[in-house]
Amino acid sequence: MRWTLKPKPEPQKILQLQDALQVDEFVATLLVQRGIETYEDAKRFFRPSLNHLHDPYLMQDMDKAVARIEQAFANNERILVYGDYDVDGTTAVSLLSSYLRTRTDLVSTYIPDRYQEGYGVSYKGIDFAKDNEFSLIIALDCGIKAVDKVIYAKEKGIDFIICDHHRPGKDIPKAVAVLDPKRTDCNYPYKELCGCGVGFKLIQALAKHEGKTIKDLTHYLDLVAIAIGADIVPITGENRVLAYFGLQVINNQPRPGIKALIAQVKKEELSITDVVFIIAPRINAAGRMKHGNHAVTLLTETDFNHATTFATEIEVFNTDRKEEDSRITDEALQQIIEQNETDRKTTVVYQEDWHKGVIGIVASRLTETYYRPTLVFTKSGNKLAASARSVIGFDVYNALEACSEHIEQFGGHKYAAGLTLHPENYEAFKQAFEEEVSQTIDSTLLTPEISIDAKIDLSDITPKFYRILKQFAPFGPGNRTPVFMSEHLQDTGYGKQVGDGSHLRVTVTNGAQKIVGIGFGLGEKLSLISNKNLFKAVYSIDENHWKGNVSLQLRLRDIK
């Protein structure tokens, strides 16, 4: 594990912020590291407001999208809301379809079958629209590369509005409107919205056209917060505002489907971390193991009893998903060893019977053992489909682009992508990808990194300090949970392995103060702290709730 202490910001900036906010040096340092340098910056950070959201009409083509939808309302046209089968796509479809149904009954939803149609806009989906007399398709979390599909739809008399957040290709589809903040000709101030976030900007624009305000839309923000967490987009700027208020809706007045999911896991209050690891996998399980329609049905259900039935079904899908991804991960790890590929710069594995719905999860799991850019392939019809995952600091999308001569189609982000190719191109692609990554990756990126915000003493850890840290939430990319390092620590003699022996529980001291630390997966490091050995630790700070008592504890990340 590679420890990296973040550079300390300019002392003058820290002093100015300390003075403006009347906070200590450590808090001011954490804020400046996050780009917060003035009183006004801090006010927006600590006190998010819906008024901080940008005007949706700043997005390229938003006026055209609203005009076309209003035309559909006026002409009693049938509208098909189309979206990807993952969390971002199904929440986006649920959000937009729910809103449109407040204006017209002529709205239906369509989620492509992961196995028969694959990712994105499909010809089958367009044919469905034609056969059922839909004249407008609104695509969410997909479509930015559907140039030929949009032409095909136009030939059948169907208009398209695209709401996407992925990187565009060389050509923009000739749809009625293409809403994507990553378009080079789009001057929208915030570029990191998820697909559901772009969908929310569309309903914000429609509401504004009707004379409504943002406060009329807050009940949709539970869906947006879930998508932000699940899609691992930066929780900065506009996303921070949306996630902040979305979590309030989740915890205070969630829609019936979300309420039913929360009841399944029996947790009183959810953080964005809980959304990522508890709620999102269950919503995703529908599209992975059965069909994304199940997720949309759950998220749009208005009756809690019916929602509870749907949530129970999804819990079964999630259990099946866990079993599949565990089995496939074991098989993939064995394949790496059998093919003598443990020392490569990349992981590329393939087996034709691996479940397409879990290969993305498996790719993530493999990076825990072999920390390097990873692709997991399976058979999909007469092609091979893969999910790609990267390591921090390396752009896997660019690497795939450099190997595009071997790929049929691909799309995604810096750290996660998907692709398809013809079976006969697999070996050539595998070799090309290894060569491209070997030539372009900084070798230090192949060692997992812990980024440390600041070096502090145990005496700096006080209830007041922690109360301020809690206000930094919601945490995520761009605003990670603060991580600290302390040196010259000793175990008081009560350090031990816990659980199945793989975890570590210690009571650390620097001579003056004691505090309990928990290190998940650090059980093997017990010898480092034995016999009063001095050690240093990297950790975050959280609360331990036990029998009605609340105390601060260290969440150990690593010790040396």
Structure confidence by residue, pLDDT tens digits, 382-419: 999 999 999 999 999 999 999 999 999 998 888 889 99
Percent of the chain with pLDDT over 70: 100
| pLDDT level of residue 264 (50, 70, 90 thresholds) | confident
| Phi and psi based region of residue 160 (left: phi greater than 0; alpha: psi -120 to 50; beta: remaining) | beta
Q: Calculate mean pLDDT across residues 522-536.
A: 91
Look at residue 200 and give its three-state secondary structure: helix
| pLDDT level of residue 35 (50, 70, 90 thresholds) | very high
Answer yes or no: is pLDDT of 212 > 90.
yes
Answer yes or no: is pLDDT of 510 > 90.
no
Instruction: Give pLDDT, residue 166.
Output: 92
| Alpha carbon distance 406, 394 (integer Å) | 21
Residues 6+ apart with CB under 8 A from 195: 83, 84, 88, 89, 92, 140, 141, 142, 163, 164, 165, 227, 231
185: exposed, middle or buried (Cβ count in 10 Å: 0-12, 13-18, 19+): exposed
Spell out the domains of the chain, with CATH numbers in brackets. 12-47 (no CATH), 56-313 (3.90.1640.30), 339-446 (3.10.310.30), 451-560 (2.40.50.460)
Instruction: Give pLDDT, residue 16.
Output: 95
Higher pLDDT, 115 or 354: 354
Residue 263 and residue 250 in contact, taking contact as beta carbons nearer than 8 Å = no
141: exposed, middle or buried (Cβ count in 10 Å: 0-12, 13-18, 19+): buried
Structure confidence by residue, pLDDT tens digits, 149-158: 999 999 999 9
Answer yes or no: is pLDDT of 506 > 80.
yes
Nearest to 219 by CA among 179, 189, 248: 248
| Alpha carbon distance 342, 335 (integer Å) | 10
| pLDDT level of residue 442 (50, 70, 90 thresholds) | very high
Question: What angle in degrees, to the nearest 10, is found between the helix axes of 39-46 and 25-33?
Answer: 80
Residues 6+ apart with CB under 8 A from 209: 66, 70
Instruction: Give pLDDT, residue 5.
Output: 95
Structure confidence by residue, pLDDT tens digits, 274-285: 999 899 999 988
| Alpha carbon distance 402, 36 (integer Å) | 37
Instruction: Give pLDDT, residue 512.
Output: 78
Structure confidence by residue, pLDDT tens digits, 314-365: 999 999 999 999 999 999 999 999 999 999 999 999 999 999 989 999 999 9
| pLDDT level of residue 375 (50, 70, 90 thresholds) | very high
Residue with tokens 């624009």, as numbered in its chain? 205
Instruction: Give pLDDT, residue 534.
Output: 94
Instruction: Give pLDDT, residue 357.
Output: 87
Mean pLDDT of the residues in the chain: 94
Instruction: Give pLDDT, residue 265.
Output: 80
Count CA atoms closer than 13 A to 514's CA, side-chain side. Answer: 7
Residue 472 and residue 502 in contact, taking contact as beta carbons nearer than 8 Å = no
| Alpha carbon distance 129, 67 (integer Å) | 21
Instruction: Give pLDDT, residue 420.
Output: 94
Higher pLDDT, 136 or 265: 136
Answer yes or no: is pLDDT of 266 > 80.
no
Instruction: For CA atoms 19, 21, 23, 25, give the dihedral sign.
Output: negative
| pLDDT level of residue 200 (50, 70, 90 thresholds) | very high
Structure confidence by residue, pLDDT tens digits, 220-230: 999 999 999 99
Structure confidence by residue, pLDDT tens digits, 128-184: 999 999 999 999 999 999 999 999 999 999 999 999 999 898 999 999 999 999 999
Percent of the chain with pLDDT over 90: 85
